[in-house]
Amino acid sequence: AQSVSQHNHHVILSEAASLELGCNYSYGGTVNLFWYVQYPGQHLQLLLKYFSGDPLVKGIKGFEAEFIKSKFSFNLRKPSVQWSDTAEYFCAVRPAGTASKLTFGTGTRLQVTL
Amino acid sequence: DTEVTQTPKHLVMGMTNKKSLKCEQHMGHRAMYWYKQKAKKPPELMFVYSYEKLSINESVPSRFSPECPNSSLLNLHLHALQPEDSALYLCASSQGLLARQNTEAFFGQGTRLTVV
């Protein structure tokens, strides 16, 4: 079974700082990769996704992620965070060619201070 | 319409009660899911429906009973729950079931369930 690790549980940054959140997965085959964001009191929203092709994926709100197959990683980045980026961020993995079993990481709580 | 709508938003129920959670989507999606999310934890898959048929049951206790009456609706029937079942229950849907169709899941806002 696949698993997803997010090593940063709680990150505190000042506005305009750069962000990188780690995500590693364990699965030997082809995977689809996702980052979801959950703002306080709101539902899970898709930030970006990777299915195939260019391993550098751009999402909404200035976020991007890079799939490095050799490292089984899909780290999320943003050059300059804003206070409104304060939220919980979840990495998720789904093996390709199977029933849609989406497995989430434990999440990273991002707090952006003014 | 890219929404997944869940009702009710909040539910408090006793351990002997029977209640149902409802989920609706009008995006023409043929796969629908129930997830459970405890506080400060990631969502955990409970059930997957594909074309109104149960595709995955992640060894969920029988006190949780899913139902998919049609392609737009997904219910979760609750009976004789325990306090540890208190959590946020999330519904999601996606266009296709197989990952090679490059589908993504859309989530509802969830029902916050408290069992007393």
Over residues B69-86, the pLDDT tens digits come to 999 999 999 999 999 999
Bridge partners (DSSP) listed for residue B25: B4
What CA–CA distance (Å, rounded) separates A107 from B76? Answer: 25
Please enumerate residues of B whose Cβ is less than 8 A from a Cβ of A: 4, 31, 33, 40-45, 48, 50, 55-56, 90, 92, 94, 96-100, 102-110
What CA–CA distance (Å, rounded) separates B75 from A47? Answer: 27
Query: Is the confidence at residue B13, as pLDDT, over 60?
Result: yes
Over residues A6-16, the pLDDT tens digits come to 988 999 999 99
Over residues A60-103, the pLDDT tens digits come to 999 999 999 999 999 999 999 999 999 999 999 988 765 567 88
Give pLDDT, residue A54.
94
Give pLDDT, residue B45.
92
Interface mutation target, options B36, B107, B111, B112, chain A, most CBs of A under 10 Å: B107
Chain B residues within an 8 Å CB radius of A46: 104-106
Q: What average pLDDT does the segment B87-107 reach?
A: 80
What CA–CA distance (Å, rounded) separates A7 from B59? Answer: 28
State CA B64 to chain mean position distance: 10
Per-residue pLDDT band for B89 (boundaries 50, 70, 90) equals very high
Query: Is the confidence at residue B62, as pLDDT, over 90?
Result: yes
Q: Which two tokens stand for residue A53?
A: 């092709």
**Which range among A39-43, A45-49, A78-82, B50-54 shows the weakest confidence by mean pLDDT?**
A39-43
Query: Is the confidence at residue B97, as pLDDT, over 70?
Result: no
Shortest CA distance to A94 belongs to which of B36, B40, B111, B103?
A: B103
